[in-house]
A and B are shown apart, each in its own frame.
Chain A
């Protein structure tokens, strides 16, 4: 490190004899806080980027509303279970076919690359397992919560679906990560789905409801990600279409609920990003200076037994 020239130094030192003649509480305006940096690594947020990310969040809200609305329609008899099963099976078939033809959009590390025949067989196998497994589990699902009251089941299902939306891995759909890491949200959604399905009367309705839940919460993230990877415009159009469907489904149940949904989406997808951008521009004050702890390079952690209590994500965040 090059030697400092005392005149060029922008900080005071303790061994300077001339400075020692000054009072200890003397503050040199030239050097005091000269090395402080405000908002050094704060990224400027744009409304468009934030709104696009929020639009993805609202997509999951639409999925929840669609599934809940469909469940309500099955329960009321507004939609026949068999009709719904037909549409769901077709959708599953289309999705599996697309997967077989196009390859998996998110390749897991270490996975073997399959040819078209391999992918086709994998799709057929998955479809068969999904449908066959559901058929086998339907009687169990139907009687699972027989001892639970309706309001308890409804409350628990609502809370679980809210948790699903909150803890969902949005980074996966937004192409920020390669693997879906949302075991908690998946668990919450399946818990809610089984609770809701078990309140239905006949096996066909239960099957239809659970199959829809499976497609909405387990399989759809990969579809959304594939669409997003293909085209951002298509992604926005698809999300908008989902909102239209969700609004229609909600309106079929209750007019007020439908408009409350619209207001909620507006707050989430427009107002929230705008507030975030505004707050980040005006309220952010990141202070950096020589008092900050230095961060060693990540390679130094190789073979470390443990990082002595310091979370590694802090270093990952600083070193990326």
Chain B
């Protein structure tokens, strides 16, 4: 598993990688996570469930994305793959390490799978450059995974599907495998809800993309319409001041509680206090937060953006257009349906629909599809060459130089001379046995 985004940072992608790695490990696969170092976390670590993590020293540029170093990271990546006996590389999210890792892995002839977790536009400068890089990666990847059907359409289009001559990523090479929720941790508890009041919970980063402007518009009107309605907001961000000001101006400080930043392990406790979960995001590829909320027994009101409408059935999730009045109407509808809602029934339905074991099984099938493909080095070069009039030639050069560098590494440090890493047979690493063996070896 390869990404800039992994623990100890907390986020949707990070938790997805961890949960998937844990389930694949439980299914008997050897899983190694390759990510960048964090302060106080450099080198090789074993984390829960026997997942081995390589925290590679790299310069972090912005928001966990590392600075590109093109061929500089190839030596270490190759050594890691040879030591660990890696046969398939699964990259997550279009970040630096993913793009570079796919390039290295394909140079070494390994199969590659790419999971895209986000939606991107087409028109702004950032999106144009990001899509160009993604075009390179997707041209080189055997199979792609998207977390929703909307994300699949977006990814296929971003790969240049409409450009004609070279159609980019074929839709049959993209599997839709959604995220899942840890239903053991996210369970309902109606005793935590305030009696006689109805609580709307919001757990999100308080930033523009999460629709804080819409929230600030909705809260005063909703509180004015429903006397028994309270809001509980967990999260922090650049728009927090704006939200606090709107609440203060409306005189709702008694009815609206902003908890600030809440660690992920405390999120279930917050969700259990709510009857309704409100998500006002302006764009979401999947929105795992609505799953977590539904798993805790909440009904959900969410903006119908991106892949959100695909996630939950209409009797659990009430969709709204991304404007204040529409959200208010959906909230009204949801509050009317609230007395008939059974939190445990909602939890069971979500558990049946979205669980990590099912996701891991489906990811295995995606890996099988990747293994079923066949490619040659010249075929790969030709495919990269055709990615654009100028860009294709650049890619061709990069691929050729990377190949030569790989052959040089093979010459100076053959794969056979690299010591394989310690194999972990059981999920629990036996520390005592390992210490005894080391002590015995020292005595000898």
Q: Answer yes or no: do A and B interact.
A: yes
Residues of chain A touching chain B, judged by Cβ–Cβ distance below 8 Å, are 1, 3-4, 11-15, 23-25, 27, 31-33, 35-36, 285-287, 289-297, 300-301, 303-310
B122 touches A301 (CB 8 A): no
B172 touches A11 (CB 8 A): no
Q: Which residue of A lies closest to B176 (CB)?
A: A24
A4 and B319 alpha carbons, distance in the complex (Å) = 10
Residue in A24, A27, A303, A304 whose Cβ sees the most chain B Cβ within 10 Å: A24
A1 touches B320 (CB 8 A): yes
A295 and B309 alpha carbons, distance in the complex (Å) = 18
State the interface size on chain B (CB cutoff 8 A): 67
A12 and B322 alpha carbons, distance in the complex (Å) = 21
Residues of B within 8 Å of A24, CB to CB, are 175-177, 362, 365-366
A15 and B181 alpha carbons, distance in the complex (Å) = 14
Q: Which residue of B lies closest to A303 (CB)?
A: B245
Residues of chain B touching chain A, judged by Cβ–Cβ distance below 8 Å, are 119-123, 143, 148-151, 153-154, 156-157, 162, 171-178, 207-209, 211-214, 216-217, 237-239, 241-242, 245-246, 249, 282-283, 303-306, 309-314, 318-324, 326, 329-330, 353, 362, 365-366, 369
B122 touches A287 (CB 8 A): yes
Known: A27-B171, A296-B322. 4 other contacts (CB 8 A): A24-B176, A290-B150, A293-B119, A293-B209
Residues of B within 8 Å of A304, CB to CB, are 213, 239, 242
B238 touches A1 (CB 8 A): no
A15 and B149 alpha carbons, distance in the complex (Å) = 12
Residues of A within 8 Å of B156, CB to CB, are 33
Given A25-B173, A296-B322, A285:B209 Cβ within 8 A = no
Given A24-B175, A305-B241, A308-B237, A294:B310 Cβ within 8 A = no
Q: How far is the CB of A180 from chain B (nearest CB, A)?
A: 28
A25 and B149 alpha carbons, distance in the complex (Å) = 10
Given A14-B149, A24-B177, A294-B282, A306:B310 Cβ within 8 A = no
B162 touches A285 (CB 8 A): yes
A15 and B330 alpha carbons, distance in the complex (Å) = 20
Residues of B within 8 Å of A32, CB to CB, are 153, 171
Residues of A within 8 Å of B177, CB to CB, are 24
The 3 closest A-B pairs by CB, nearest first: A308-B208, A294-B322, A24-B175
Q: How far is the CB of A12 from chain B (nearest CB, A)?
A: 5
Partner of A300 from B173, B176, B217 at Cβ < 8 Å: B217
Partner of A296 from B175, B282, B330 at Cβ < 8 Å: B282
A1 touches B150 (CB 8 A): no
Residues of B within 8 Å of A307, CB to CB, are 208
List 17 A-B residue pairs with CB atoms under 8 Å apart, sorted by A's residue number.
A15-B312, A24-B177, A32-B171, A33-B153, A286-B123, A287-B157, A287-B162, A289-B157, A290-B150, A291-B154, A291-B306, A292-B121, A294-B282, A296-B323, A304-B242, A308-B208, A308-B237
Residues of B within 8 Å of A301, CB to CB, are 213
A88 and B305 alpha carbons, distance in the complex (Å) = 62
Given A1-B304, A296-B323, A305:B171 Cβ within 8 A = no
Given A15-B353, A294-B282, A25:B369 Cβ within 8 A = yes
Partner of B150 from A11, A297, A300, A308 at Cβ < 8 Å: A11
Residues of A within 8 Å of B365, CB to CB, are 23-24
A292 and B285 alpha carbons, distance in the complex (Å) = 10
Residue in A33, A36, A285, A293 whose Cβ sees the most chain B Cβ within 10 Å: A293
Partner of A36 from B153, B245, B319 at Cβ < 8 Å: B153
A11 and B151 alpha carbons, distance in the complex (Å) = 12
Residues of A within 8 Å of B151, CB to CB, are 291
Given A14-B176, A24-B176, A294-B322, A289:B213 Cβ within 8 A = no
Residue in A12, A294, A307 whose Cβ sees the most chain B Cβ within 10 Å: A294
Given A1-B319, A14-B176, A24-B175, A293:B283 Cβ within 8 A = yes
A35 and B153 alpha carbons, distance in the complex (Å) = 10
Residues of A within 8 Å of B172, CB to CB, are 25, 27
